[in-house]
Structure 1
């Protein structure tokens, strides 16, 4: 695990809506504005289908988050994250492109490995793969997969991806799948493959996943509220499993502050960054509304990035 030299700033691009007339061109333009303004990473979310029980999102026993709410109804529009990132890769030059998170277990592993390697190569090595098990039983049922085995299915998917990414002549054997002497090109740009960020609470299953596959951790649930304590606890678990948590990258959330007129107070928002960095956060996520006009959005984002660097340099 290797952490960046300086803390990074990231934003989520909202690729879902309950507006059937939403302008997706404006969404992609906002991604380009993030790139132009100097934001380090843009991430997008994932849902393949929805059932009719969105309340499950608020149930931690299923992988949801207490008090959380699915932001659209079951008929909300949710774009495929890898296609969105491909579009952004073609129209940006420097910003890192991430999933937060991809429900990787819903995809056939060898096909997913090819898609991710291709996107990584075409983007010049700018791809980060954020993964998690999800909270919705209906998505696994629609894919013909057992929801109860979602943790093992995610591990299996990552095992196959890393095998195909790192071995020229690949073989793999597991109860779910076996193959011998398989060749898949291109390989991702990094020797270990696409960097993997694992989402989850502080528990042994997530710690094992980080030890085996992880570059970074996306805290979830109660772990979000206490970044420093959660990071220390997770690093202890990784070390206890024989891993080296020294360079673990970790996502944390800035406290968004608005001015009286409702606009983003960039300096006050950035002021929450130093405490997060001191607690071990390496990637600081800012959640905010931005102007619809691309030029104005670029100005706000540029101001935010400058305030962030002033607070953390």
Structure 2
């Protein structure tokens, strides 16, 4: 792992409240930026079917015991649009997806959107991707759910070709082109960093080996991060990759006091064993005050405590 551990938060861009004030959501993103949080991430669902219980089925990519945070008619903002708004209203925080269902987008159009956002944000974008769990989203996009892994790989192949090559060429069973120019290129050297979500398996290890700067562990991998990281790095090495600088996301445990307030010291203490296990990006989940300045104050205290505990 290179550099100091980073602290990240998810910005909730989904709700069952049809009258939610989205300006307050953007204000919380600004508060994270001001307070010194390293990365803010947003999640993705394009559409919902009427079987949200499938989220609890690991066989289709869900997580055992998991529960969707909204019903099918919940409000879910499109993540790249949200990150564009945040890019315009923040100055230093990194902006990420956790995770984008990248295969649902046409690859060349996604490459253009992501490159544009990287340029407008001054090179602050991280693209976290995954295959998802919901068959209905693929059906609504006219795509076969059973081929979602290959569709994701294809999407990433096209994006990286268009980002890296001045006269891009690409050939696969899904798509062929040559002499294609996509401008502007991403600001970041090597293109926008890709973080791959998934469990410990050969498909995810191969995807990380080909595309990934970072891994977002999913399912059982989150229960034994030290073991999972070692196993994943071994698998990546088996595919010819050098996993030495693999970045890994892990979730701190939020500790609340008896009165319901968050115990920041105890919460950041839970990050220490994660960092020792090889986690480079510690995700903290906590309820934030609606008032922007109060949120800045709480987050500043959190960041200071995190730095002290992990450096």
> Deviation above 2 Å: which 4+ runs of structure 1?
none
Which residue of 2 is the match for residue 196 of structure 1? 194
Q: Which residue of 1 is the match for residue 9 of structure 2? A: 11
Superposition CA RMSD, Å: 0.6
The aligned residue for residue 100 of structure 1 is 98
1:284-303 pair list within 5 angstroms: 284-303=282-301
Q: Does 1:44 align with 2:35?
A: no
Q: TM-score, normalised by structure 2?
A: 0.99
Q: Could you list the per-position Cα deviations for residues 197-238 of structure 1 after superposition, in whole angstroms to 9, with x for gaps in the alignment?
A: 000000000000000000000000000111111101100100
Closer, same or farther: CA 4–88 of 1 in aligned 2, 3 Å:
farther
TM-score computed with the length of structure 1 as normaliser: 0.98
How far apart are residue 191 of structure 1 and its match? 2.7
1:238 aligns with 236
3-state SS of 1:215 partner: strand
Trace 1:208-247 onto structure 2 (pairs within 5 A). 208-247=206-245
Question: Number of paired residues?
Answer: 311
1:31 matched to 2:34? The reply is no
Contact 1:9 1:40 in 2 (8 A): yes
SS in 2 for 1:159: helix
Post-superposition CA distance 1:115-136 (Å, at most 9, x none)? 0000000000000000000000
Query: Does the Cα contact within 8 Å between 2:56 and 2:64 map onto a contact in 1?
Result: yes
Q: Note the residue ranges of structure 1 that are not aligned, 5 or more in a row.
A: none
Q: After alignment, is 262-271 or 27-36 more displaced?
A: 262-271
**What CA distance in whole angstroms lies between the structure 2 residues aligned with 1:273 and 1:106?**
34
Partner-residue secondary structure (3-state), 1:43: strand
1:4: Cα distance to partner? 4.0
Q: Distance in 2 between matches of 1:242 and 1:99?
A: 27
SS in 2 for 1:191: coil
> In structure 1, how many angstroms separate the alpha carbons of the residues matched to 2:130 and 2:141?
16
Partner of 1:253: 251
Alpha-carbon distance in 1 for matches of 2:28, 2:188? 28
By how many angstroms is 1:190 displaced? Answer: 2.1
Cα shift readout 1:39-82 (whole Å, capped 9, x = no counterpart): 00000000000000000000000000000001101000000000
> 1:241 and 1:58 mapped to 2: Cα distance?
31
- Tell me the residue number matched to 2:267: 269
